[in-house]
């Protein structure tokens, strides 16, 4: 007996994909709001300290954008995997039905 059997619940996988999509969109909206707030304060950030604070913020934003893109890419990977599982499962069922019908 093969102990390496893998069962994929595409319904559960698709549910998790949807959760990731929702959280990723929340992250994008939060970043957009924070960026708007920071840009609104830019007029008040004068001198070296203000410039340094804004520079640090921009560096953080760049890292945040990279993280959001990675999450989005992972979501796309999971979507492709789910679609592949569904496609292969349908082919297997179709071939099984053809075989059993003969």
Q: Is the pLDDT of residue 77 over 50?
A: yes
Please report, in angstroms and rounded to a whole number, the separation of the first and last CA atoms in the chain: 28
Range of the domain at 42: 26-101
For range 73-77, the mean pLDDT: 96
CA distances (Å), 85 to each of 19, 25, 54, 60, 93, in order?
19, 26, 46, 37, 12
Tally the C-alpha atoms within 13 A of residue 68's C-alpha that lie toward its C-beta. Answer: 17
pLDDT for 23: 95
Q: Is the pLDDT of residue 18 over 60?
A: yes
- The model's pLDDT over 38-68, given as tens digits with 9 standing for 90+, comes to 888 877 777 888 888 888 989 999 999 999 9
Q: How many domains does the chain have?
A: 1
Residue 67 inside a domain? The answer is yes
Residue 87 inside a domain? The answer is yes
pTM given for the model: 0.75
Residue 43: DSSP 8-state: G
Residue 3: DSSP 8-state: T
pLDDT for 102: 57
């Amino acid at each position: 007996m093969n102990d390496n059997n893998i069962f994929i619940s595409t319904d559960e996988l698709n549910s998790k994909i949807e959760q990731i999509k929702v959280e990723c969109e929340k992250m994008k909206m939060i970043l957009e709001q924070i960026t708007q707030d920071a840009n609104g304060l830019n007029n008040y950030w004068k001198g070296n300290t203000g410039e340094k604070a804004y520079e640090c913020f921009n560096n953080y934003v760049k890292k945040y954008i990279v993280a959001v893109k990675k999450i989005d890419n992972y979501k796309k990977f999971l979507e492709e995997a789910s679609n592949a599982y569904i496609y292969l499962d349908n082919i297997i069922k179709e071939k099984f039905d053809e075989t059993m019908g003969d």
